[in-house]
Amino acid sequence: MVAEYFLPALSRLFIGLLFTAWCAGASAQVWTLESSIARAVEVAPELRAAEAEVAARAGELTHAGAWPNPTVGLRADEKLGIEDGRGGQQFNQVSVTQALPLRRLGHQRRAAELNLESTRAQQCYQRLQIETRTARAFHALQLAAERQRLAQQRLEFAEGLRRGGDRLVRYLSPLERTRLDILRETAHQDVAHAEGKWSEALAEFRALLALAPQAQIETASLTPAAAPNALTALHQGLTAHPALQATQQARDASRANVDVARAQRSADPTVSFFRERD
């Protein structure tokens, strides 16, 4: 009897503890700047499109040095039919023609290489832009959460003054009570404003990371920012900036494409082989 009563209760208690632990673990995820950027890069449709573009340019480079297929020609006339008296038309010549794109292939390969490099540089720049947007959204959410927490603390302080937290003050004049009411109302407005800003920052962060509406989001605590690098160091790294590299690669690729267009103005020389039947 005792076992029949306690075993179902213990099983329900065990299942409840497991569910509580699972919920606590699910809601305990704290987003850091690194994890936020990794998530944004993973779900960004721009990067998937950029990867497909890189694959397409790599395929163009693979086929840039391919020679055109030869062409086969057949000729038929009545000559053989007249000679043997049978009449009609018969095939009497087979030709194979091969184009020689020796001058054009070099320009095509060069253009395909530069197009691939330009696409990769553009992909790198797009990734940097996504990382920048994610960092801004993450820090904006951090700042909004801290401002909301500070506004709530100020409201609690104002409520404490309104309730007469200072026991040494036995009497407050109507003017002082009015001032406390104004202070408390201002604190309420600050809390509402901070909650609105936090909701806006949360919506932007959730959309950028493609998170579910019911997902619990918590960011790491806000810490003082580190000192920025010296201006000379920033100037030295300016030449390696992805935006500048993408622009330079696009310029070089455009020039190479112009060379290809110039090479295609004249037809490729051809070599033909004929075989005739007499």
Mean per-residue pLDDT pooled into runs of 10, the chain (278 residues): 42 43 53 94 94 94 88 74 62 83 88 94 94 96 94 88 60 78 89 94 94 88 82 82 90 92 85 78
pLDDT at 2: 40
Helix axes 102-162, 242-263, angle to 10 degrees: 160
CA nearest to 129, candidates 239, 41, 240: 41
CA nearest to 57, candidates 139, 12, 118: 118
pLDDT at 8: 44
Q: How many residues does the chain have?
A: 278
Q: Rounded distance, CA 254 to CA 120, Å?
A: 15
How far is the first Cα of the chain from the last one, in angstroms, to the nearest whole number?
112
For residue 72, report the phi and psi dihedrals to the nearest 5 degrees.
-115, 130
